[in-house]
A and B are shown apart, each in its own frame.
Chain A
Amino acid sequence: MSVNESALPLNEQARSPRFALAGNPNCGKTALFNAITGGRQKVGNYPGVTVERKEGFFTRPDGEQVRILDLPGTYSLDAKTPDEEISRDVLLGKISDEEQPDVILAVADATSLERNLGLILELRALGRPMILALNMMDLARARGAVIDLEVLGRELGFPVFPTVAVNGDGVEPLLAQAMQIAHAAKLSAEKSPAADWKNSTPNEVRDRFATVDAILAKAVKRSARPLIWSEKVDRIVVHPVWGSIILLFILGVIFQAIFSWAALPQEWIEKGVGALGKSVAGLMSVGPLRSLLTDGVIAGVGSVLVFLPQILLLFFFILLLEDTGYMARAAFLMDRVMGKVGLHGRAFIPLLSSFACAIPGIMATRTIENRRDRLTTILVAPLMTPSATLPNYSLLIAAFIPNTAVFGPVRLQGLVMLGLYAGGVAATLGMAWVFKRTLLKGVKPPLLMELPTYKVPSWRNIFFGLRDRCWIFIRRAGTVILAITIILWFVASYPKAPEGALLPPIDYSYAGRIGHAIEPLIRPLGFDWRIGIAFVPGMAAREVMVSALATVYAIEGKDEEATGRALSEVLKSQWSVATAVSLLVWYILACQCLSTLAVTRRETNSWRWPLFMFSYMTALAYVGSFITYRLCVWAGL
């Protein structure tokens, strides 16, 4: 049978059976999903919410196509989080555009049935065709567990299959049985009506677990022993002193990776894109089309691709830390510190990553379950000074801050740089504190987090995870970034300068007009129209500001360095120190990056939050720069 693998035709989709994987977090559900689909999967969002929707496809030996949905891992179906709500509504068939699954493939961690079976009983109560995969069976046996699968299946009322998802053991018998159930279900009933769902009362939860205990008493001769080596590792890893040192070391490695290891591949991408632009330019005659292709499209693709090294590296570490089980420990260690400003322990990796670039940082907030916590982290992440701001800082500091020795080897320029970074961190934490007390106020969600036993990471899981992240970025954020780059190119290039113009061409463009138009607004901050113009192309990426200023001041150097030095000299003669300091403060606080807004749009699934982010940061920067400028003028700078 030759059916297109990734996109089944609609009539085919209607007939192919549909499974849904459900289970607790950390039960190996995603590993099972990867084992079943072999990577044939696509990631998207459920309509209107930020819950990730993962669907996969596989073909049975007889050629039948099956679709399988990987529901988010949850501890129950009582809707307290969007994940739980979605899982429940999908299973009940209450989501429009989402077919009700024919069979529920429930997954339980065989090493901790006492907890895992709670959700299984809840799933059973839905009254849907169902089958249970007892996953990590190898680990459970190694830890001395003796489980009578037949008795367990009889007590539960549906078939139970042992699986080892990481190497695919037991997957085939499980699927064969699930197919049988699917076909039998199709014959009997088309679709069960969406049952009414009420959250369980605490007593119902107690009863459910009493049933679990009764079932386990019959089916389990011996439960799995605690994993000794995992506990020994924990004695060091969450030790107050050693644990903190290890955490700092790991954070240091991640920071180093996204800050400097990514630099080389980024340079290759930039060079490659530059070379491509040049060769395309060589093939075409001068004209608007050539400019559109080289300065607009190719440069735009480059500005998307250039983020990939950082995103890949950061998510490699995050997936590795998640897969081994370390991430929960890190959140455990950091909870108190981050909690001081109302952030979740898991917020520190996204924020730290934002030092390199807010884009991967914002994407990394997915590990934060609570919506308010996650939104707060997203909103403040761009305040962590991204590395792209560095060229601006360097330019202004070199031009305006005397390099006098302050104390021993400590020099004023270095101190100011440090102060700018400290300002960024202070603004981040301060705004997080403000948001958690005003806009995103809510009951502090309880920290109730499993510390899973350590596992050897599965490279397959990490590989598929990385592939998903890159794809999401390129398809969803990348397209917006590309469009924005092309628009900005247009704004900075048109209309063209008239014949015999004396000023640089950018003055005559829309960017120039915008710069002049906003001058009255930015004058109180000590900025003139030239800075206003540079802001426009600077929105594409912060570091573009330097070359934009060079364009505005009509500086042509042999290379970047010469341009920088020449620009520095010109600025020194044209700007007051107050203006420079004010602009530095502006750069700490302002949202000068449309790519960040694009990725925020993607991650929050609405334009509301990126608009709010832009507004509040601009307001903050305006007030900050205004006060700074006035203070500087008053101090006679």
Chain B
Amino acid sequence: MTVDKLYLGGMKKGDRALIVATGGPIEIRRRLLEMGFLEGSVVEVIHEAPFGKDPIAVRVRGTLLALRRNEANYIEVHLEVA
């Protein structure tokens, strides 16, 4: 049985997850990686912006980063069991 893949863009405020794969067009992928969205790092959604809950602010590798859900969807995650 296959489980639907989960992406950072689909996470809600308060969700914590492990980054499984960072993809997307090469420029964006590189930038995401440089900002710390690395496979194996833990990511947590801390804030959601007012209109349409987009962009989101996440904590990853000790910093708080804002990004749009659109780009966040290049980051595949695995929800952590608390």
A332 adjacent to B30 (CB under 8 Å): no
The answer to whether B61 and A114 have CB atoms under 8 Å apart is yes
A residues whose Cβ falls under 8 Å from a Cβ of B: 75-76, 78, 80, 111-115, 118, 199-202, 205-206, 209, 223-224, 226, 231, 234, 238, 240-241, 243-244, 328, 331-333, 335-337, 446-453
Q: Is B32 a contact partner of A448 (Cβ separation < 8 A)?
A: yes
Residues of chain A within 8 A (CB-CB) of B30 are: 76, 78, 199-202, 205
The answer to whether A446 and B49 touch across the interface, beta carbons within 8 angstroms, is no
What is the CA–CA distance of A335 and B71 in the complex, to the nearest angstrom?
A: 14
Say yes or no: is B29 at the interface (Cβ < 8 Å to chain A).
yes
New contact pairs (6) apart from A76-B31, A114-B62, A447-B55, CB-CB < 8 Å: A112-B61, A202-B33, A335-B54, A336-B54, A449-B67, A450-B63
In the assembled complex, the Cα of A449 lies from the Cα of B49 at a distance in Å of: 13
Would B66 and A223 count as touching, CB distance under 8 A?
no
B78 is an interface residue with CB less than 8 A from chain A: no
CB–CB A206/B38 < 8 A:
yes
Task: Point out the residues of chain B lying under 8 angstroms from A453, CB to CB.
Answer: 64
Given contacts A115-B36, A205-B34, contact A448 B63 (CB under 8 A): no
Q: Which residue in chain B gives the minimum CB-CB distance to A335? A: B55
Residue in chain B with minimal CB distance to A234: B47
For B, the interface residue count at a CB cutoff of 8 angstroms equals 35
Complex partner residue of A80 from B27, B52, B55, B71, CB under 8 angstroms: B27
CA distance A47 to B58 in the complex (A): 38
CB of A87, distance to nearest CB on chain B (Å): 14
Leading 8 A-B pairs by shortest Cβ distance: A240-B50, A114-B61, A205-B33, A336-B51, A451-B64, A112-B62, A446-B71, A76-B34
In the complex, which residue of chain B has the Cβ closest to the Cβ of A331? B66
Give me 26 A-to-B residue pairs in the complex whose CB atoms sit less than 8 angstroms apart, sorted by A's number.
A76-B30, A112-B61, A112-B62, A113-B62, A114-B63, A115-B62, A199-B30, A202-B29, A206-B39, A226-B59, A234-B46, A234-B47, A234-B64, A238-B47, A240-B49, A328-B66, A332-B47, A332-B57, A446-B28, A447-B55, A447-B67, A448-B35, A448-B71, A450-B65, A451-B64, A451-B66
**B47 to A447, Cβ gap below 8 A?**
no
Q: Which residues of B contact A244 (CB under 8 A)?
A: 50
Residues of B within 8 A of A333 (CB): 49-50
Whether, in the assembled complex, B26 has its beta carbon less than 8 Å from a beta carbon of chain A, the answer is yes
- For B52, list chain A residues within 8 Å (CB): 336
Interface residue B48 (Cβ < 8 Å from any Cβ of A): yes
CB distance from A67 to the nearest CB of B (A): 29
**What B residues does A448 contact at CB under 8 A?**
31-32, 35, 65-67, 71
Judge if B12 is at the interface, Cβ distance under 8 Å.
no
Which residues of A are found within 8 Å of B26, using beta-carbon distances?
Answer: 202
- B2-39 residues at the A interface, CB under 8 angstroms: 22, 26-36, 38-39
Q: How far is the CA of A331 from the CA of B54 in the complex (A)?
A: 12
B69 to A: closest C-beta gap in Å: 10
Residues of A within 8 A of B48 (CB): 240
A224/B71 in contact, CB under 8 A: no
Closest to A231 in B: B46
Contact of B51 with A449 in the complex, beta carbons under 8 Å:
no
Given the interface contacts A115-B36, A446-B71, does A337 sit within 8 Å of B51 by beta carbon?
yes
* Residue of B with least CB distance to A112: B62
Q: Please, which residues of chain A bring their CB within 8 A of the CB of B70?
A: 446
Q: Which of A111, A205, A223, A452 has the most CB of B within 10 A?
A: A205
- Assembly CA distance A113 to B62 (angstroms): 8
Chain A residue nearest to B56 (CB atoms) is A332
Alpha-carbon separation in the docked complex, A451 to B59 (Å): 10
| A193 smallest CB distance to B (angstroms) | 26
Q: Is the CB of B67 within 8 A of A446?
A: yes
Q: What residues on A are CB-neighbors of B35 within 8 Å? A: 75, 115, 448, 450
Among B29, B34, B47, B57, contact of A118 (Cβ-Cβ < 8 Å): B34
A152 to chain B, nearest CB (A): 16
Closest to B29 in A: A202
Which A-chain residue is minimally distant from B54 (CB atoms)?
A336
Whether the Cβ atoms of B62 and A111 lie closer than 8 Å is yes
Q: What chain B residues lie within 8 Å of A226 (beta carbons)?
A: 59, 62
Which of B27, B52, B54, B63 has the most A CB atoms < 10 Å from its CB? B63
